[in-house]
Amino acid sequence: RLNTWESLTTGIAQQAKGVIAPKEKTPFITFVLGGPGSGKGTQCIKIVETFGFAHLSAGDLLRREIASKSADGAMILNTIKEGKIVPSQVTVKLIQKEMELSDNHKFLIDGFPRTEENRVSFEQIIGVEPNVVLFFDCPEEEMVKRVLNRNEGRVDDNLETIKKRLTVFQALSLPVINYYSEKGKLYTIKAIGTEDEIFEQVRPIFAAFEVCSQTVG
Ligand SMILES: Nc1ncnc2c1ncn2[C@@H]1O[C@H](COP(=O)(O)OP(=O)(O)O)[C@@H](O)[C@H]1O
Ligand SMILES: O=c1ccn([C@@H]2O[C@H](COP(=O)(O)OP(=O)(O)O)[C@@H](O)[C@H]2O)c(=O)[nH]1
Ligand SMILES: [Mg+2]
């Protein structure tokens, strides 16, 4: 009887472990960077399909906050309309919540960090650094054309806001890209051509990491 009870409780404990502690693997984090309209979101969908990442778009998380009429919603809406950057702790908290809710350990963090302050804040709060940083390098005139044709009803997809976002990108986001370049983590993608052509530059980067993880076990 005791043995039966023991095996039963052990079974429950093992099941519970699977439910409560699914995060045994260390996370594999990719930051996806590039100017507005450079194709980050589009390529993230393909990376998810091919390599099974969880896609966390910082902009989508912020827009969800606006839609849910949360306390920060009005502030976030104004910041996005102005093409400015939402305070780091707000964005990092949203990303943290999504990472905790996910049962995946491979994350694509799309459109973040956009400033050095964002980057430092993520490191301090989440306590990890990215394994890979992708930079979708696209000429400004192509980015403007794509954003103006995006047709998702976004409040920031107008010429006035795009100009501000491009200035913010140059001044605040390029330093983040340079930081990761110096760290040897940056993979620059030439973000012109068809979606498929661009993905053929992205694919080998993740394919190499897949081989690595198989070798390590
Ligand atoms: N390679 C491409 N060529 C032309 N248009 C593209 C390409 N990739 C994406 N787009 C389009 O450009 C717009 C911006 O792409 P998106 O993925 O939303 O960029 P981001 O997330 O970097 O702002 C979307 O309408 C998208 O369909
Ligand atoms: O970490 C972030 C990500 C986005 N944004 C705001 O959200 C807007 C839209 O971001 P998104 O990544 O959705 O735009 P994309 O680059 O994809 O066009 C930005 O211009 C910022 O105002 C922000 O403040 N912090
Ligand atoms: Mg996007």
pLDDT higher than 80, residue 77: yes
Both tokens assigned to 125: 């709060």
| Ligand 1 contact, 114 CB (< 6 A) | no
Q: Give me the torsion for CA of 36, 135, 63, 150, rounded to 10°.
A: 40
- 3-state SS track over 1-50: CHHHHHHHHHHHHHHHHHHHCCCCCCCEEEEEEECCCCCHHHHHHHHHHH
pLDDT higher than 80, residue 23: no
**Residue 64 labeled ligand binder:** no
Reported as a single tens digit per residue, the pLDDT across 174-183 is: 999 999 999 9
| pLDDT for residue 19 | 56
pLDDT higher than 50, residue 6: no
Give the gyration radius of the chain's Cα atoms. Answer: 20
List residues, by chain if needed, whose CB lies under 5 Å from ion ligand 3.
Answer: 40-41
Q: Within 10 Å of residue 168's Cβ, how many Cβ atoms?
A: 18
Q: Ligand 2 pocket: which of 44, 75, 77, 80 to mutate (most atoms <8 Å of CB)?
A: 80
| pLDDT for residue 56 | 98
Q: What is this structure's pTM?
A: 0.91
| Ligand 1 contact, 37 CB (< 6 A) | yes
| Ligand 1 contact, 130 CB (< 6 A) | no
- Band of the pLDDT at 4, cuts 50, 70, 90? very low
| pLDDT for residue 5 | 44
Three-class secondary structure of residue 54 per DSSP: strand
| pLDDT for residue 21 | 55
CA atoms within 13 A on the CB side of 41: 11
Q: Residues 160-183: what's their mean pLDDT? A: 98
Q: Which ligand is nearest to the CA of 114?
A: 2
Both tokens assigned to 169: 């990108």
pLDDT higher than 50, residue 2: no
Predicted-complex ipTM score? 0.99
| pLDDT for residue 217 | 53
